[in-house]
Amino acid sequence: MELSFEVCNALKALSSSPKAEFEAVVVQATEDLIEISQEEKIVTCQSKVCCSSSSSYSSLLTLFTELSKHQLSSQHLTEQLQDLDWPQDRIASVCTAYESVTSSVRCCLSSVASLLPHIVDVDWKLVHTVSSTSNAAEKESVYLLRFTVRPSNMASNGTGCSTNEAGSAASGSKPNLEYITLRCSLPELVAVTDSLRRAVATLNKLAGAN
């Protein structure tokens, strides 16, 4: 199981945080995961964690969720935290917390659709807008982005494509896809492109590992 650089850094910070802060983060994360099915829980969670420990709180939620998703035991958690140079007493505390929330998290994850909505294509084009000022007119480059997304209600038929796509292919019609369109500046376009490239590289890496 791989964790992002940001999550690892936040977990390292949690391992060396003051005892009171460490215990507060672990207790809060544990309580929130147990009650994760409650409505408006995300808003409630954010109000209970101070800004200085919010990244540690988020990283612990991510760690517990990823471990539960991959059906990993507390032994794997111990090894993961040892790699991050955690002290043994804090590892034991977090392992106990993880064991108390595992069933709740797995139950919640099992209710998520097996085929999540995801981007299947993206394209963009350049459009120009002219903004007038008191001194002169400035020309600004604006890009129109369009994401093609496969909805979550397109159930899988076990062949790698959805039943809607399979039916559409048989009838010769286009699959039932959705489109998200937005406008962005050049820096925003570069940021989106970089994020997509990193996502593709991560997926290729995971596919190669399997």
Domain regions of the chain by residue span:
5-110, 118-187
**Side-chain half-sphere CA neighbours of 67 within 13 A:** 26
The better pLDDT of the pair 134, 170 is held by 134
Alpha-carbon distance of 168 to 158, in angstroms, equals 16
3-class SS at 168? helix
Q: What percent of the chain has pLDDT over 70?
A: 69
pLDDT at position 160 is 40
Confidence band for 149, pLDDT divided at 50, 70 and 90:
confident
For 155-187, write each residue's pLDDT tens digit. Answer: 444 434 444 444 444 445 556 788 888 888 888
Mean pLDDT (the chain, rounded): 76
Find the distance separating the first CA and the last CA of the chain, reported in whole Å. 12
- Label the pairing between strands 118-132 and 137-150: antiparallel
Question: Is there a contact between 150 and 120 (Cβ–Cβ < 8 Å)?
Answer: yes
pLDDT at residue 130 in the model? 61
pTM recorded for the entire structure? 0.53
Query: Token digits for 198?
Result: 């990193």
Q: Kindly indicate the confidence band of residue 47, based on its pLDDT and cuts at 50, 70 and 90.
A: very low
Give the per-residue pLDDT at 40: 40
Predicted confidence at residue 81, as pLDDT, reads: 94
